[in-house]
A and B are shown apart, each in its own frame.
Chain A
């Protein structure tokens, strides 16, 4: 564009010199015409410009360590040609804070109206790419005219599988991580607990023999094994490499649990405020949603650990199984 602007400046200068040295009508006419040409150029560019939009798409999600691919496409609604569109893109990993810019040129008509962008994806996170500025010059190449609308796309950079051993409490074939809870409605059962009678208890649940011994009504409450609430936590701060390890373990552990049919919760604390985010994970989809949320939040090098505060627990769930995932291991068990 610069050389065209210089050329136009030279043309204007030539027209002025012509006006000065040529005393007749033609010189003034030429000068006015040269001055009016950019207006005509802009007017002729507008229909093509207003009928053009930029679309940015991504692959959705990839594993970290590869390259993230975005596709930028110039979509046209009319047949008038559009001068080259200069696009400035910004990209950032919302988790790690890595960012950068990228400039490219799209031309309609010669097949370069589509551009494939490859961005580095060494760490976990959400890679967001957005069109910061897109402008096509006018037909004379003098003025940048902005394209209407803004385009953007996101790409999840997922953790890699890690070698994680399921804790013994969770790995037992039947009762791993299970606790005995009263069976609603009672009924027969091998395990039971004794307690004082409460109004409303059925008569058949009263342990008459023991009641006679104690002189007070004792009720036999049938128990059944129920799985404990499982909470996985991690600290949402650290270096990108540490976070990669954390998410690798967390994601692997979560998938192992899902494979065993164990729904669980993933919790982390906001690095600055300490506010706890709690997400239920009962499927791969909910795990992705959880990761998307986690990856969209910036993780500073240091912050408040979730272990410094209290976990979010269901009041009726009893004691949960809590595992804290770090870059090196998985700690925890029944509290």
Chain B
């Protein structure tokens, strides 16, 4: 079977009222949406009325140009480009100012959105109206070529994709930095895209029908946008939960993928795998601790029998160097955490003290062991945590771990610092002894006493160090506390401490240490302000000294660092701890977001072990060392949540740009003025456009004469001769007869007949070219491309 489509030759494009009206509206909306999306997103100061006038004029120019037949394009394009070049020449100074104005707006929006430290402002001092006018003029200058390009895409090519890719970058760039352009221009662009998308399919086969459809689709799409805007009010916008969950999932997947590929035993892993421990360096960089920023993703998934607020300990750091916290060297631990066989091969230590083995006991177990000894029948609590996005080096667990080193699976104690995660193990379960209290009088079992004493020696040897650089600040702070105490300041912690000193009975050293921690916490709360947007500590400044003496503002990293050093100054062994704070609901399951990251302090209490202390005011009332299995109402999370992981810092200090006012004496210093080459370049291009147009016309003509179908070639030659007739050309009778034969006869013309017709056309070209006066000849040659 066969089928034969009757496909007549596609009629040439001729603008109809519908196509002009529809194309004009689309073009106007495109210009309006693209330019105002840019202007509104970057908060550029402009004159809206002037811009509106520019939209109308540019739309009209583009519409007029592209509605003309192809052979008439050259003239309006030449006129427009000439006017445009002349405008550039005359308004160059204004345009330079406009570029500065827009550049400042763009750069500052980027900085504000990304939190970068790169704000700029113009050096030249002009009134805001001058800047606004210059920016408006620059936009108008850019609008003209943009309108011609869009007009070509919409009116002639009817190309959705070309229109889309020309206009899409205008809203895309601000969206990439989380800045939404103004709603109306954005809707204008959406309207254009929807309309052109709806008419693209029929546009190719039926341009006139597509023009009619455009007029029907435009109001329909506008109605749809209006309905959606009404149905989804921006004021009540709530992001869908599934999107948040998906984002969390993606972040976690990316984290795991990164770890799987680039760490451990992954294909690009730099460290050994095969059941080893993850990298857990215990480092905290304080020098880049600037304003906090969170994504809200889930980092830990917890299931436990504990209830209420619990502190999930990640790691502790012992060594402060003014800009960071870090761990102790392994050598400083002596043989405390070595196995017996390892102890025998110990090298000669250079340290003064040698700390013998703890016989397998772990200091992080001490409080739980003591409490278990005192209350053997008390129920312990199961705690399961899954790391889905937190630092993969650590296992985050609550205080008072009952599980001892040999009972742990998938994790291992790293000295007295942390629990390190075993490769490829992401879920861990440990057992907790809830309700431990350093003042309960519980004592460690006898077999642990020796280890406790040995470790105590180590603690007093290693956790009291203070760098000399911050001693003055600490001295000042302690002196201030003393003065306030002596002056009877109305601070409960001070008063309790004074009462303790004046009481007749000798208080326990543990109680004194805890009270000292309360005093330090109270002092920091009195003198410093919690600020999650605290700026980065200036380079060269000691982190704690700057916080105590200069800024007096910060978040948990500042408070914990300062408190740890102040306590050390007071003789209380203390260290910095990083982890998360989780509020466990009655279900016992909770997803811990990255915004729950926190830092606090641990102090060592003799005979008890490490006791966490909350020193950050925003977390006042929290008791890191207490955890309970009782059903409790979760403590409301303090807002905003501080974190130990800080976002990149930014300073708001504007940086001057090298630009300067036009017409100043420093103009010669500019390396290269674009005007010098841009205008001549445009002029050369304009001049070259004429011969290019002629060559294009000739090439197109020859292609038609040489096409495969001899009949079509003869018809093309005849039509060309008919065009030449207006300029004095003559059509030979023979060519006319051949054209009739080609058109109406079923026969295929021979090559000889083709050559006859084409030769007559060429001869007529030469004859017309010679016979015309010079101005008509130029017109025919370079404007019409006819000869």
Chain A residues within 8 Å of B, Cβ to Cβ? 4, 19-30, 32-33, 36-37, 40-41, 43-44, 67, 79-84, 91, 100, 102, 104, 107-112, 114-120, 137, 139-141
Q: Which of these binds chain A: B217-225, B389-397, B521-529, B568-576?
A: B217-225
B267 within 8 A of A: no
Query: Does B1 lie within 8 Å of A139, measured CB to CB?
Result: no
Q: B186, B202, B228, B239 — which one has the most chain A CB atoms within 10 A of its CB? A: B202
Query: Does A117 lie within 8 Å of B1, measured CB to CB?
Result: yes
Partner of A26, one of B1, B180, B225: B180
Partner of B4, one of A80, A100, A118: A118
Please indicate the chain A residues that have their CB under 8 angstroms from the CB of B209 in the complex: 79-81, 108-109
B205 within 8 A of A: yes
Partner of A115, one of B4, B194, B213: B4
Of all A-B residue pairs in the complex, the 8 with the closest CB atoms, nearest first, are A109-B206, A81-B209, A81-B202, A110-B205, A111-B8, A118-B2, A81-B206, A25-B237
B201 within 8 A of A: yes
B208 within 8 A of A: yes
Q: A24-B180, A84-B205, A115-B6 are in contact. Are A102 and B232 (CB under 8 A)?
A: no
Interface string of B227-253 (1 = CB under 8 A from A): 011001010010110010011001000
Please indicate the chain A residues that have their CB under 8 angstroms from the CB of B6 in the complex: 111-112, 114-116
Expressed in whole angstroms, the Cα–Cα distance for A27 and B234 within the complex equals 11
Please indicate the chain B residues that have their CB under 8 angstroms from the CB of A119 in the complex: 1
Query: Does A140 lie within 8 Å of B208, measured CB to CB?
Result: no
14 contacts between A and B (CB under 8 A): A20-B250, A25-B234, A25-B237, A26-B180, A44-B216, A79-B209, A79-B212, A80-B213, A100-B1, A108-B209, A109-B208, A111-B7, A115-B3, A139-B201
Please indicate the chain A residues that have their CB under 8 angstroms from the CB of B247 in the complex: 20-21
Partner of B3, one of A4, A21, A117: A117
Determine how close the nearest CB of chain B comes to the CB of A5; give it in whole angstroms.
Answer: 13
Please indicate the chain A residues that have their CB under 8 angstroms from the CB of B1 in the complex: 91, 100, 102, 117-120
Query: Does B225 lie within 8 Å of A81, measured CB to CB?
Result: no
Q: A24, A108, A110, A140 — which one has the most chain B CB atoms within 10 A of its CB? A: A110
20 further A-B contacts with Cβ under 8 Å, apart from A80-B209, A139-B213, are A23-B239, A25-B232, A25-B237, A28-B232, A28-B239, A33-B194, A33-B224, A37-B197, A37-B198, A40-B221, A41-B198, A44-B213, A81-B209, A81-B213, A108-B209, A109-B209, A110-B10, A116-B6, A117-B2, A140-B197
Determine how close the nearest CB of chain A comes to the CB of B169; give it in whole angstroms.
Answer: 16
Determine how close the nearest CB of chain B comes to the CB of A4; give it in whole angstroms.
Answer: 8
Expressed in whole angstroms, the Cα–Cα distance for A294 and B239 within the complex equals 72
Q: A20, A23, A107 — which one has the most chain B CB atoms within 10 A of its CB? A: A20
Please indicate the chain A residues that have their CB under 8 angstroms from the CB of B5 in the complex: 104, 112, 114-116
B178 within 8 A of A: yes
Please indicate the chain B residues that have their CB under 8 angstroms from the CB of A91 in the complex: 1
Chain B residues within 8 Å of A, Cβ to Cβ? 1-8, 10, 175, 178, 180, 186, 190, 194, 197-199, 201-202, 205-210, 212-213, 216-217, 220-221, 224-225, 228-229, 232, 234, 237, 239-240, 243, 246-247, 250
Q: A79-B212, A81-B212 are in contact. Are A33 and B201 (CB under 8 A)?
A: no
Partner of A33, one of B8, B175, B206, B225: B225
Quick one: closest B residue to A81, CB to CB?
Answer: B209
Determine how close the nearest CB of chain A comes to the CB of B17; give it in whole angstroms.
Answer: 13
Expressed in whole angstroms, the Cα–Cα distance for A107 and B224 within the complex equals 28
Query: Does A33 lie within 8 Å of B208, measured CB to CB?
Result: no
Query: Does A140 lie within 8 Å of B232, measured CB to CB?
Result: no
Please indicate the chain A residues that have their CB under 8 angstroms from the CB of B217 in the complex: 44, 139
Query: Does B240 lie within 8 Å of A28, measured CB to CB?
Result: yes
Partner of B205, one of A25, A107, A116: A107
Please indicate the chain A residues that have their CB under 8 angstroms from the CB of B207 in the complex: 109
Query: Does A36 lie within 8 Å of B224, measured CB to CB?
Result: yes
Quick one: closest A residue to B234, CB to CB?
Answer: A25
Please indicate the chain B residues that have their CB under 8 angstroms from the CB of A102 in the complex: 1, 3
Q: B5, B207, B234, B246 — which one has the most chain A CB atoms within 10 A of its CB? A: B5
Q: B1, B6, B234 — which one has the most chain A CB atoms within 10 A of its CB? A: B1
Query: Does A40 lie within 8 Å of B224, measured CB to CB?
Result: yes
Expressed in whole angstroms, the Cα–Cα distance for A109 and B206 within the complex equals 5
Quick one: closest A residue to B194, CB to CB?
Answer: A37
Please indicate the chain B residues that have their CB under 8 angstroms from the CB of A81 in the complex: 202, 205-206, 209-210, 212-213
Expressed in whole angstroms, the Cα–Cα distance for A21 and B190 within the complex equals 20
Expressed in whole angstroms, the Cα–Cα distance for A82 and B210 within the complex equals 9
Determine how close the nearest CB of chain B comes to the CB of A128; give it in whole angstroms.
Answer: 14
Query: Does A26 lie within 8 Å of B175, measured CB to CB?
Result: yes
Please indicate the chain A residues that have their CB under 8 angstroms from the CB of B243 in the complex: 19-20, 27
Quick one: closest A residue to B186, CB to CB?
Answer: A26
Please indicate the chain B residues that have their CB under 8 angstroms from the CB of A110 in the complex: 7, 10, 205-206
Q: A102, A109, A114 — which one has the most chain B CB atoms within 10 A of its CB? A: A109
Please indicate the chain B residues that have their CB under 8 angstroms from the CB of A23 in the complex: 178, 239
Query: Does B206 lie within 8 Å of A118, measured CB to CB?
Result: no
Partner of A24, one of B2, B178, B240: B178
Expressed in whole angstroms, the Cα–Cα distance for A43 and B6 within the complex equals 30
Q: A26-B180, A36-B228, A102-B3 are in contact. Are A139 and B202 (CB under 8 A)?
A: yes
Please indicate the chain A residues that have their CB under 8 angstroms from the CB of B237 in the complex: 24-25, 28
Please indicate the chain B residues that have their CB under 8 angstroms from the CB of A100 in the complex: 1
Please indicate the chain B residues that have their CB under 8 angstroms from the CB of A139 in the complex: 198-199, 201-202, 213, 217
Determine how close the nearest CB of chain B comes to the CB of A19; give it in whole angstroms.
Answer: 5
Please indicate the chain A residues that have their CB under 8 angstroms from the CB of B190 in the complex: 30, 33
Expressed in whole angstroms, the Cα–Cα distance for A171 and B218 within the complex equals 80
Expressed in whole angstroms, the Cα–Cα distance for A110 and B216 within the complex equals 20
Query: Does A32 lie within 8 Å of B3, measured CB to CB?
Result: no
Please indicate the chain A residues that have their CB under 8 angstroms from the CB of B205 in the complex: 81, 84, 107-110, 112
Query: Does B180 lie within 8 Å of A25, measured CB to CB?
Result: yes
Expressed in whole angstroms, the Cα–Cα distance for A19 and B247 within the complex equals 9
Determine how close the nearest CB of chain A comes to the CB of B168; give it in whole angstroms.
Answer: 12
Please indicate the chain A residues that have their CB under 8 angstroms from the CB of B194 in the complex: 33, 37, 40
Q: B10, B201, B208 — which one has the most chain A CB atoms within 10 A of its CB? A: B201
Quick one: closest B residue to A43, CB to CB?
Answer: B220
Query: Does B232 lie within 8 Å of A29, measured CB to CB?
Result: yes
Expressed in whole angstroms, the Cα–Cα distance for A22 and B172 within the complex equals 12
Please indicate the chain B residues that have their CB under 8 angstroms from the CB of A37 in the complex: 194, 197-198
Please indicate the chain B residues that have their CB under 8 angstroms from the CB of A104 in the complex: 3, 5
Query: Does A140 lie within 8 Å of B240, measured CB to CB?
Result: no
Expressed in whole angstroms, the Cα–Cα distance for A61 and B243 within the complex equals 66
Determine how close the nearest CB of chain B comes to the CB of A45; give it in whole angstroms.
Answer: 9
Expressed in whole angstroms, the Cα–Cα distance for A119 and B224 within the complex equals 48
Q: B178, B209, B220 — which one has the most chain A CB atoms within 10 A of its CB? A: B209
Partner of A83, one of B10, B175, B201: B201
Please indicate the chain A residues that have their CB under 8 angstroms from the CB of B8 in the complex: 111
Please indicate the chain B residues that have their CB under 8 angstroms from the CB of A19 in the complex: 240, 243
Expressed in whole angstroms, the Cα–Cα distance for A80 and B213 within the complex equals 6
Please indicate the chain B residues that have their CB under 8 angstroms from the CB of A116 in the complex: 3-6
Expressed in whole angstroms, the Cα–Cα distance for A228 and B117 within the complex equals 118
Quick one: closest B residue to A116, CB to CB?
Answer: B4
Expressed in whole angstroms, the Cα–Cα distance for A28 and B8 within the complex equals 46
Determine how close the nearest CB of chain A comes to the CB of B768; give it in whole angstroms.
Answer: 35
Quick one: closest B residue to A39, CB to CB?
Answer: B224
Please indicate the chain A residues that have their CB under 8 angstroms from the CB of B197 in the complex: 37, 140
Please indicate the chain B residues that have their CB under 8 angstroms from the CB of A21 in the complex: 247
Please indicate the chain B residues that have their CB under 8 angstroms from the CB of A111 in the complex: 6-8, 10
Please indicate the chain B residues that have their CB under 8 angstroms from the CB of A137 in the complex: 201
Expressed in whole angstroms, the Cα–Cα distance for A19 and B241 within the complex equals 11
Query: Does B202 lie within 8 Å of A109, measured CB to CB?
Result: yes
Determine how close the nearest CB of chain B comes to the CB of A324; give it in whole angstroms.
Answer: 36
Please indicate the chain A residues that have their CB under 8 angstroms from the CB of B246 in the complex: 20
Please indicate the chain A residues that have their CB under 8 angstroms from the CB of B175 in the complex: 22, 26
Expressed in whole angstroms, the Cα–Cα distance for A161 and B521 within the complex equals 118
Determine how close the nearest CB of chain A comes to the CB of B241; give it in whole angstroms.
Answer: 12
Query: Does B199 lie within 8 Å of A118, measured CB to CB?
Result: no
Please indicate the chain B residues that have their CB under 8 angstroms from the CB of A32 in the complex: 228, 232
Quick one: closest B residue to A36, CB to CB?
Answer: B224
